[in-house]
Amino acid sequence: MTPRATTSTEGRELILTRIIDAPRDKVFRAWTEPELLKQWFAPLPWTTSKAETDTRAGGASLIVMRSPEGNEFPSRGVYLEVVQNERLVFTDAFTKDWEPSEKPFMTVILTFEEIEGNTGYTARVRHWTVADREAHEKMGFHAGWALCAEQLAEVVAKL
Amino acid sequence: MTPRATTSTEGRELILTRIIDAPRDKVFRAWTEPELLKQWFAPLPWTTSKAETDTRAGGASLIVMRSPEGNEFPSRGVYLEVVQNERLVFTDAFTKDWEPSEKPFMTVILTFEEIEGNTGYTARVRHWTVADREAHEKMGFHAGWALCAEQLAEVVAKL
């Protein structure tokens, strides 16, 4: 597999970009429709056993990832900004109804740019501290998000 | 002065409620129009030397409070939810454009309820940790927010 995603680091931010060979409304759907999200969100051999997405500013999300050993890891978050087919911003700093989470770790800014019918896909993953950005890198951000972007591209190719 | 505000503590949250003898659109204006906000936001003898309010979800705010000695203390934040005359939610977890702040300290949920032409005013001040809630209380939350609510009521009475 040719690596097609580029990742980089800027201060407290981790960035992934790649071109996805599909129109951006399909990529947006894959990020917001639970049945599609579950097909690509966790880097294989991990899987996504549950996804709930109340895709509006202030709406909550719940995504449960399952390890190869069968352990489940729920992640709760809140959407901060939703611009259909263009932009999606969410954070784990809140669970739902602006309830502060146990630990604000990251805020993700996704942009979907139209490039000749395909999608310029950029994920900016911002952390509150450099230490958290470093921790995210040690958890495997660069390889993991690139793999998930590949899985995402495969899912949207079938839509 | 009869204390007219009630404050309470619930876990990581501090709550202030009081009735303000004015319709809620005036109270909402006093929270969102810089020239009005500056008249009541800081507990006297502190003053508010600057206020900028981009009152929309994702919009930034900058409020500078000035101590009696003339020192200035800027606070930056972002509005999370804006429902005209009804509800205003903001946090210092972000500065602007979803840039994580140095320290997520609090999220404030303001509700303005119509009660026979007057306003049931409630501020829910949520913190990420019990330690931060306690620190806020030691900074004088209960007396300070009650005094500011009184100043707010005096400003809206003149509108």
Contacts with A81 from chain B: Cβ below 8 Å: 57-58, 98
Please indicate if any CB of chain B lies within 8 Å of the CB of A109: yes
Which percentage of chain B shows pLDDT scores above 90? 96
pLDDT in tens, chain A (159 residues): 444 889 999 999 999 999 999 999 999 999 999 999 999 999 999 999 999 999 999 999 999 999 999 999 999 999 999 999 999 999 999 999 999 999 999 999 999 999 999 999 999 999 999 999 999 999 999 999 999 999 999 999 999
Two structure tokens written together for A63: 């995504």
| Amino acid found at A144 | G
Of the candidates A12, A98, A101, which has its C-beta nearest B109's C-beta?
A98
Task: Spell out a b/e string for A85-122, using b for 16 or more CB atoms within 10 Å of the CB, else e.
Answer: beebbbbbbbbeebebbeebbbbbbbbbeeeeeebbbe
Cβ contact B100–A58 (<8 Å): no
- pTM of structure: 0.94
Three-state DSSP state, A31: helix
Please indicate if any CB of chain B lies within 8 Å of the CB of A79: no
Please indicate if any CB of chain B lies within 8 Å of the CB of A12: yes
Two structure tokens written together for B38: 């500056």
By the 10 Å C-beta count (0-12 exposed, 13-18 middle, 19+ buried), A17 is classed as: middle
Q: How many other C-beta atoms can be found within 10 angstroms of the C-beta atom of residue B79? A: 20
| CA dist., res. A139 & res. A133, Å (int) | 10
Nearest-neighbour CA in chain B from A82: distance (Å): 11
Of the candidates A12, A100, A103, which has its C-beta nearest B107's C-beta?
A100
Q: pLDDT tens digit string along B6-51?
A: 999 999 999 999 999 999 999 999 999 999 999 999 999 999 999 9
Which residue, among B61, B59, B35, B33, has the nearest Cα to B49 in the 3D structure?
Answer: B35
Cβ contact B126–A99 (<8 Å): yes
Please indicate if any CB of chain B lies within 8 Å of the CB of A15: no
Cβ contact A104–B101 (<8 Å): no
In B67-157, beta strands by DSSP E: 72-83, 87-91, 106-115, 118-127
Query: E strand or H helix at B53, and its extent?
Result: strand B47-53
Mean pLDDT score of chain A, rounded to an integer?
Answer: 96
The sign of the CA dihedral B37, B38, B39, B41 is positive
Bridge partner list, A123: A16, A110
Helices B141-157 & B24-32 angle (0-180, nearest 10): 110
Spatial contact of A50 and A43, defined as CB atoms under 8 Å apart: no
Question: Does residue B2 surpass a pLDDT of 50?
Answer: no
For an interface test with B, give the residue of A10, A12, A13, A80 to mutate (most B CBs within 10 A).
A80
Spatial contact of B109 and B90, defined as CB atoms under 8 Å apart: no
Contacts with A128 from chain B: Cβ below 8 Å: 93, 100-101, 103-104
Interface confidence (ipTM) of the complex: 0.91
Please indicate if any CB of chain B lies within 8 Å of the CB of A93: yes
A vs B, Cβ pairs < 8 A, gives 57
